[in-house]
Amino acid sequence: MDCKASSRTTYTPRRHGAGNPMNTRINSPATLRKASKYLTTADPAMAALIARIGPCRLQVQQDSDLFLSLARSIIFQQLHGKAAETIYQRTCALFPRSEQFTAKDIKRATEEKLRSAGLSRNKQLALRDLAAKVLDGSLPAMEDLHDLDNEDIITTLTTVRGIGRWTVEMLLMFRLGRPDVLPVDDLGVRKGFMLMQGHSDMPTPKALKLHGEIWAPYRTVASWYLWRATDTFTTAD
């Protein structure tokens, strides 16, 4: 059983109002169809890719707890899925009484205890920094993120040790369902663009960002198709 986390903060977000387009989420098949139709019109190469792959099946898994979501991201960094899941579950098992994985649990745990789950020193330091920032109110609660712009969220969350821009972009896309995120440093997205365009070299992040402007405001869906391109194309195509 996956462990759960619970945390509350005193973070006060800079709210942008209920009408802010940043509050839009990819939360229905109709929204995904609308995005795909827009991309088909905006970019002929993307249109061909969409026709080849079919309907977008991007899934958003909403988490209610920011601490657990980021803690899981830290644990999974630089590890293959099965190994990372094993360490994650071992970390959860360190706290059997409450059956919860909380910021207070990490704060109170000794280095030896965390190491017994397979957590490296760097990951322990990152988890402790995350826990400290959650407990002192430096970070928002998950529900507060819905009122913040993408860049505001990235700026805030990357203050945590071990949390970089890419990690927050994944949270924006797959936890918050933000429709207009393009992770230009992601190798899979860059390779997918290369294959879609029939190029022999991957684009630079700067070049991908420039081209990707035509996909706004649905760059998240465009990214999903570029990831799928790596499974669909071969370099011989």
The one catalytic residue among 65, 136, 186, 231: 186
Distances (CA, A) of 197 to 71, 88, 124, 142, 207: 37, 38, 42, 37, 13
Q: Which residue bears the tokens 């991201």?
A: 73
User: What is the rounded CA–CA span in Å between residue 237 and residue 198?
Assistant: 8
User: What is the rounded CA–CA span in Å between residue 95 and residue 102?
Assistant: 9
Q: Is 152 a catalytic residue?
A: no
Distances (CA, A) of 12 to 96, 125, 209: 33, 26, 31
Kindly tell me the sign of the dihedral angle through the C-alpha atoms of 142, 186, 132, 148: negative
Give the number of C-alpha atoms closer than 13 A to the C-alpha of residue 233, restricted to the C-beta side.
23
- Cβ atoms within 10 Å, residue 84: 17
The candidate with the shortest Cα–Cα distance to 74, out of 186, 17, 158, is 158
Q: Taking a C-beta distance cutoff of 8 angstroms, is the pair 138, 11 a contact?
A: yes
Query: Cβ contacts of residue 148 below 8 Å, gap of 6+?
Result: 13, 14, 15, 16, 22, 140, 156
- At 4, is the secondary structure helix, strand, or coil? strand
How big is the chain, counted in residues? 237
Residues with catalytic roles: 186
